[in-house]
Amino acid sequence: METYFETIVEIDGFSFFIYIAALVFGLLSYNKAKSVYDSNFAKYFNVKYGFFVIVLSVYVCFNIISMYQVYKLEKELPSKRVESVEGEIREYSSEEVASREESFVVGGVKFEYNNVGTPKYFFANRKRGDGVISDGRLVKVYYFSEGKKKNIVKVEVER
């Protein structure tokens, strides 16, 4: 079997530090930066400095939250009970509305995922054009369960 997909979860701690430092520095130097903005840049942009700071702060906060979620997953993943199932893909189904939902069964275990809603570090057949996931193909799927959801962390295929 050949590895087709494998979860790689890495976080760059330095980037996390940079986002937090930028947010703190920006808030602490608000008055100084506002006077520089008002005297040099306000004539080019039709945006108040306060609005600019709010938008930038929201952007930085969303990035910090996203990085924290990846960090949390990176710490939790080794403790997850990863199971595997091997066999032919059966009952492959793909339905595209606003996003693509797919499902298939291997060895009696049903897998369902969405190409948009599934986090990027789990399998969601984003390389669908390769045609790897199709009825009758022999695969080995590694996954862990969270409630009813099965997160696929590795897919091996027979070439």
User: What tens digit of pLDDT does each residue of 5-24 get?
Assistant: 888 877 777 887 888 888 88
In eight-state DSSP terms, residue 99 is S
81-157 belongs to which CATH class? mainly beta
Give domain limits for the chain: 6-78, 81-157
What span, in angstroms and rounded, lies between the C-alpha atoms of 112 and 70? 22
Averaged pLDDT of the chain: 87
Grouping H, G, I as helix, E, B as strand and the rest as coil, residue 119 is coil
- For residue 84, the model assigns a pLDDT of 95
Which pairs count as long-range contacts for 19-28, CB under 8 Å and 24+ apart, including other chains? 19/60, 19/63, 19/64, 19/67, 20/64, 22/60, 23/57, 23/60, 23/61, 23/64, 26/53, 26/56, 26/57, 27/57
What span, in angstroms and rounded, lies between the C-alpha atoms of 132 and 156? 10
**66 against 141, higher pLDDT:** 141
